[in-house]
Amino acid sequence: MALEKTRAIVLKSFPYGDTSKIARCYTREFGKISVIGKGIRKSKALQSGYLEPLNYLDLMFYHNIKRQLQIFSGAEYVETWSALKKDVRKMSYGFAVAELTDKAVTGVEPHEELFQLIVDVLKSINDIDSNINLLFWYFEIHLLSLMGFHPSLSKCPRCHKELEGGRFSLEYGELVCDSCAGMGTLVSARAIGILRDTQHGTLEDVVSIVLRKGDRQEIGHFLSEYMKYHMEGLGEVKSLKVMEKVLA
């Protein structure tokens, strides 16, 4: 087994036995991997804290390509993102990013652009205090694109007319104009405009978008429906459901 070092985001972790911990990580060089910290929960070196969700690490582990579970060797923090972990709303959106990544990525192949997207969005959630949902929408739209599902937001994919409002069609799996839609979830021209800005803008651009009452529900619902349609077994994002209950 070779001792490897890579940048990593911890997506989730859980106890294993009485003394160990398993963590699922998305890494820059190795894609999604699982590591086990043997005896780490009773370690006097306080290594257990490294394998907590949303940690951004230089991760060291013993790599065996024939095994699904790699052996944790050690880690160092790249950034701590303390604000992200102290605020319930920020933390919930951070967990949602990790949850979507874990559900969407099924193979172990590395994807450096996806890794950087995760890092950039989590860092922005840590640094910014308002419109955090816009950062999450940015992540959803760009995750979809990187996974090969690029939402069509300019023209109807059926008749190629410019989209000025429309419906999300469960028949076609896309946003289509009213003439082509039949039944489907209504999406206003304003919401489509915000989605376009989110799709083509930078993270810095996105946080300056001004939202009105109703935008969050309409856009959030469309993106949720779109992702569930194209990503089999995605289901609800549990992290956001928990946040809604806590902050209700």
Query: Residue 75's beta-bridge partner residues?
Result: 59
- The arithmetic mean of pLDDT across residues 189-201, rounded, is 95
pLDDT tens digits along 101-156: 998 888 778 999 999 999 999 999 999 998 899 999 999 999 999 998 988 899 99
The pTM for the full model equals: 0.92
Per DSSP, the three-state class of 1 is: coil
* Nearest CA-CA partner of 236 in 93, 99, 94, 90: 99
Per the CB < 8 A criterion, the answer to whether 167 and 186 are in contact is yes
76 CB burial (10 A radius; 0-12, 13-18, 19+): exposed
What percent of the chain is predicted at pLDDT more than 70? 93
Q: Rounded CA gap, 65 and 1, in Å?
A: 9
Q: What is residue 45's predicted lDDT score, i.e. its pLDDT?
A: 63
- The arithmetic mean of pLDDT across residues 176-183, rounded, is 84
